[in-house]
Chain A
């Protein structure tokens, strides 16, 4: 995760099939964030993103078009851009299936559509600088998937969350902001960010038995 400096002006493409929601979201974003393009379907989104190469894509999980894969299909279609363009998933469904699918396809974070204006701008900035954005609910899914019990020792790095990562996830699930988590654990915000990024990487790459079983139980994979 190359933590490149946050650009002055962040270019954003909005991908959502509801015009009303797109215009509302555009009004919510602050001046530092410029909406350079919008798309309403899977094909449109892939085309616009490849053409415009924005810093951040705000991606709805449910999209018409394509082969019915929604946001995850857009991510697969843009897989060669994942190093330069960051994807932040927006969802109204909150279903574990939708969220985990887009995260595992490469999205850098997930927030619910009811998120407030300042919060979404912060989230866009954070994603643009290469960090991960976790909502309380996503943290809950992670804890559920990796098991919230204490870990004795980290033998397979990808498959287990460290004690510290578990603590961070638990605090985020309790509704703490990154700053509050940092204060609570007596660490810097940067450290919190790196813990969260690590968790995201593990969630994306892990083939852990428990994760698979968890997913199968919920009919995700």
Chain B
């Protein structure tokens, strides 16, 4: 394949890599061949057309790898190898290219000097030759360049112009070469004949060409679909299959299985539908995160329902911590589902935490038990809010209320 660090098309670099020689020798060899009647240029063009660039062969490899997942090392190697080299060498190559152009101009100058000294220089061959080489370079270099399939209109316009100029240069050069040997009237007749042949070929081959193009498009879309499938497969493997394996191992422990399934569900749901719009500083998101933690920690189900959103008010931290404490209590002392309801009003945020336990009498909590008295009621009161606890046979409900400050409140 052709080298990524290149002066023109990377052909010399590729050959050097292949043969294990220094690039300089190969370049010298090509220059020498060029001096022998231009064979070097033709060989160079031939290699340019028929060997893939490093990028292309990399893409090929990726495609054939298919849905196989790459190891981390491979993943790291992929991006870096090319980019580091490219960045280092780019500046050096820039100046090298200028030197190359300078060398060509020098050769021309030497030839001009030679003519002045009386050499027989065939300018009628040299100028068209230069034109053809320049046109080919102009047209082909674009193909190797980055191809933005959906580039801006300006970019595409520029590319078209370069292609057109390249084409003109090549055709002009060829015509100029031929016109030395063929008479002008014959040439014009020949052009007409060529056009007729070309038109006939187009008519015959057009349907074929369009079908090839359509096939290409179809293949491209199926490739994109395959890539997406691969991403899904990778995710399912990483999370769901692992969890299923663990669940099978712990099949005798219903609570654990339930909690595992639940946390996996939450994660998958986040991945599939997660909107990522509510930031973590949002009170709803914060309490939901606490609920998820308690679910994982205590192997209990916590169902969070919320209305509205609010963030950045004074007592938010206290409210979240009191909610956590209340959920923790419910998980420790009660059975069944724990329902959490968060309602954000314009003036206040209310949180209700309900369990289905047997209940307890709030008045009869021993003084030394800090849980409810300190962590919930005391904490809320110190932050300017209030807490009520209702307990009965059907369960306990902790009601927390925290007024909004004026700063930074938000309600959609």
Same complex: yes
For the residues of A in contact with B, the DSSP-based class is helix
Q: Are B346 and A175 touching (Cβ within 8 A)?
A: no
Per-position 1/0 for B366-392, Cβ under 8 A of A: 000000000000000000000000000
| Contact of B354 with A by CB under 8 A | yes
A178 to chain B, nearest CB (A): 13
In the bound assembly, the distance between CA atoms of A204 and B397 in angstroms comes to 32
A-B contact pairs, 19 of them (CB 8 A): A93-B269, A136-B303, A136-B339, A136-B341, A137-B303, A140-B306, A144-B307, A148-B308, A170-B341, A173-B307, A173-B341, A174-B341, A174-B397, A175-B337, A175-B341, A175-B352, A176-B354, A180-B394, A217-B412
Sort A-B residue pairs by CB-CB distance and give the 9 closest, nearest first. Answer: A175-B339, A140-B305, A174-B341, A174-B352, A143-B307, A136-B305, A175-B354, A173-B341, A144-B307
In the bound assembly, the distance between CA atoms of A144 and B341 in angstroms comes to 12
| Contact of A43 with B by CB under 8 A | no
For the residues of B in contact with A, the DSSP-based class is strand
| Contact of A24 with B by CB under 8 A | no
When distances are taken between beta carbons in the complex, the residues of chain B under 8 Å from A149 are: 345-346
A93 to chain B, nearest CB (A): 6
Query: Residue on A with the closest CB to B346?
Result: A149
Give B residues with C-beta under 8 Å from A. 269, 273, 303, 305-308, 337, 339, 341, 343, 345-346, 352, 354, 394, 397, 412
When distances are taken between beta carbons in the complex, the residues of chain B under 8 Å from A95 are: 273
When distances are taken between beta carbons in the complex, the residues of chain A under 8 Å from B303 are: 136-137, 175
When distances are taken between beta carbons in the complex, the residues of chain A under 8 Å from B308 are: 144, 148
Per-position 1/0 for A82-113, Cβ under 8 A of B: 00000000000111000000000000000000
A138 to chain B, nearest CB (A): 9
Per-position 1/0 for A126-142, Cβ under 8 A of B: 00000000001101100
Q: Are A148 and B343 touching (Cβ within 8 A)?
A: yes
When distances are taken between beta carbons in the complex, the residues of chain A under 8 Å from B307 are: 140, 143-144, 148, 173
Q: Are A174 and B354 touching (Cβ within 8 A)?
A: yes
In the bound assembly, the distance between CA atoms of A184 and B412 in angstroms comes to 30
Per-position 1/0 for A33-73, Cβ under 8 A of B: 00000000000000000000000000000000000000000
When distances are taken between beta carbons in the complex, the residues of chain B under 8 Å from A140 are: 305-307, 341
B207 to chain A, nearest CB (A): 33
In the bound assembly, the distance between CA atoms of A148 and B345 in angstroms comes to 7
When distances are taken between beta carbons in the complex, the residues of chain B under 8 Å from A176 are: 354
When distances are taken between beta carbons in the complex, the residues of chain B under 8 Å from A93 are: 269, 273
When distances are taken between beta carbons in the complex, the residues of chain A under 8 Å from B354 are: 174-176
Indicate the member of B305, B337, B354, B394 with the most A CB atoms within 10 Å.
B305
